[in-house]
Chain A
Amino acid sequence: MGMKNLQRYYILYLFLQKFYAGELNRLDFETWENLIQSLQQDCMDEENETIWQGLRRFVESTSEQQEQLEFAFNSLFVGPGKLLAPPYESAYLNENRVLMQQETLSVRKFYEQAGLELICKNHEPDDHIAFELEFVCYLLGQYLQTKEKEMIQMYHTFLKTHLFRWAGVHCEAIREHSDHPICLGIADLLDGLIQNGQTEETMKEGNQNG
């Protein structure tokens, strides 16, 4: 996989991480527009149509919609009501929809194997998507900077065994419960990244078999 692709993914994961950390909720519209514009520029080489669909949704979102983002965001991911699209891995993978069980703990273990632990350990579930995305960015960033193979291997394994295992269902939940263009765009971005991951996986297997 080319470095350029990985650089682009880094930007996309970083964008998603900022979104899920709630840090894009209160941007003024101009900052938001600039951000989206530059994101599009960074994605010029992207071929995945779902990702582009997401980017277009961002471009088309109006300032009124952007103002309402925080409300839509909270009803999907934060509360105080029943979460319509919980941002926790265990909410999907735990059979009982219970957090902080073995699913959460295996994410914690993964972080620990990379030498990291959450500062808010035991206060916030380790498998909140914002943490998982931040971890993905960390691994990817480390690799891009140092070219340490271990980092890219961990990056691929983490996506495969964690983020990509549940993010697809999570995106479905977003689509089912929200009509906010930015939230829908986020679901597209995530889905597109999962699709790319699958394609690359297939190609890799093809190469190995060939």
Chain B
Amino acid sequence: MANQKYGFIISMERCIGCNACTISCKSYYNLNPSINRRFVREVEETLVGEAKRCHISTACNHCEEPGCAKACPTGAYTKLDNGIVKHNQDRCIGCKMCATACPYGVPQFDPVKKKMDKCSLCVELLEVGEETICMASCPMEAIQVVDLNETETIGLVDRVNGFVNPDITKSTTLFKLPDATHTVRRDL
């Protein structure tokens, strides 16, 4: 147990940019309409080979050196042994320092609770052997939460062109980049 290190593996090859992860998470956690815990963004159409539609779906990257934790004046963030960056909302004073410090813009201000909010990696579900909501709901099975210590990472990358440099906070999220699609375009 002690050696477990949870983290996300995102298959950009499988992801269709549909936001099912965002909405199912929002529904399960009853989030304010103005905030989300997952983010599906469009990335450069020319990310791999010829132009095509490309998306990147991420949540909190549960970094090794979380910027949020460094910036938080009340110590509301803890990097747990199991890899999860935990946000303790009871301690949060909603000062938004973490939002500024996180290069991914992950922590979001909940205007009703007046506190920050972010992905918990559904730790209460993981602990009882269930999948995270995003993982269970993705119709393309593009999201995996794994024990990074026990997972083969060949073919995976930690950085995606046009997305935040993972070195800043040592993000733990790994990506499978999309395969190139051969395209035959009309000459006009």
A/B touching: CB–CB < 8 A? yes
Which chain A residues have a beta carbon within 8 Å of chain B's beta carbons?
A: 93-98, 101-102
Which B-chain residue is minimally distant from A102 (CB atoms)? B30
Contact B30 A101 (CB under 8 A): yes
| Total contacts A-B at CB 8 Å | 18
Which B-chain residue is minimally distant from A97 (CB atoms)? B33
- Once bound together, how far apart are the Cα atoms of A95 and B115, in whole Å? 12
Shortest CB-to-CB span from A108 to chain B, Å, is: 17
B-side interface mostly: loop
Q: Quick one: CB contact mask for B29-56 with A, threshold 8 Å, 1 for yes?
A: 0111100000000000000000000000
Contact residue among A95, A97, A101 (Cβ-Cβ distance under 8 Å from B110)? A95
- Once bound together, how far apart are the Cα atoms of A93 and B33, in whole Å? 12
Shortest CB-to-CB span from B34 to chain A, Å, is: 9
User: Residue among A93, A94, A96, A102 with the most chain B CB within 10 A?
Assistant: A96
Complex interface residues of chain B between 74 and 128 (CB less than 8 A to chain A): 110, 112-113
- B170 at the binding interface (Cβ < 8 Å): no
Which A-chain residue is minimally distant from B110 (CB atoms)? A95
- B26 at the binding interface (Cβ < 8 Å): yes
Residues on B with beta carbons closer than 8 Å to the beta carbon of A97: 33
- Once bound together, how far apart are the Cα atoms of A202 and B113, in whole Å? 24
Shortest CB-to-CB span from A127 to chain B, Å, is: 16
8 contacting pairs across A/B (C-beta < 8 A): A93-B112, A94-B30, A95-B30, A95-B32, A95-B112, A96-B26, A97-B33, A101-B30
- Once bound together, how far apart are the Cα atoms of A94 and B31, in whole Å? 9
- Once bound together, how far apart are the Cα atoms of A102 and B30, in whole Å? 10
Residues on A with beta carbons closer than 8 Å to the beta carbon of B31: 95-96
Shortest CB-to-CB span from B113 to chain A, Å, is: 7
Residues on B with beta carbons closer than 8 Å to the beta carbon of A102: 30
Residues on A with beta carbons closer than 8 Å to the beta carbon of B112: 93, 95
Contact residue among A95, A98, A101 (Cβ-Cβ distance under 8 Å from B113)? A95
Shortest CB-to-CB span from B170 to chain A, Å, is: 32
Which A-chain residue is minimally distant from B117 (CB atoms)? A95
Shortest CB-to-CB span from A162 to chain B, Å, is: 15
Shortest CB-to-CB span from B10 to chain A, Å, is: 26
Shortest CB-to-CB span from A167 to chain B, Å, is: 16
Residues on A with beta carbons closer than 8 Å to the beta carbon of B26: 96
- Once bound together, how far apart are the Cα atoms of A93 and B113, in whole Å? 10
Residues on A with beta carbons closer than 8 Å to the beta carbon of B33: 95-97
Shortest CB-to-CB span from A173 to chain B, Å, is: 15
Residues on A with beta carbons closer than 8 Å to the beta carbon of B110: 95
- Once bound together, how far apart are the Cα atoms of A114 and B26, in whole Å? 34
Residues on B with beta carbons closer than 8 Å to the beta carbon of A98: 30
Which B-chain residue is minimally distant from A101 (CB atoms)? B30
Shortest CB-to-CB span from A92 to chain B, Å, is: 9
Shortest CB-to-CB span from B133 to chain A, Å, is: 15
Which 6 pairs show the lowest CB-CB distances between chains A and B?
A95-B32, A95-B112, A96-B33, A96-B30, A97-B33, A95-B31
User: Residue among A95, A101, A102 with the most chain B CB within 10 A?
Assistant: A95
Shortest CB-to-CB span from B56 to chain A, Å, is: 25
Residues on B with beta carbons closer than 8 Å to the beta carbon of A94: 30
Shortest CB-to-CB span from B18 to chain A, Å, is: 20
Q: Quick one: CB contact mask for B160-177 with A, threshold 8 Å, 1 for yes?
A: 000000000000000000
- Once bound together, how far apart are the Cα atoms of A96 and B32, in whole Å? 5
- Once bound together, how far apart are the Cα atoms of A86 and B102, in whole Å? 37
- Once bound together, how far apart are the Cα atoms of A101 and B31, in whole Å? 12
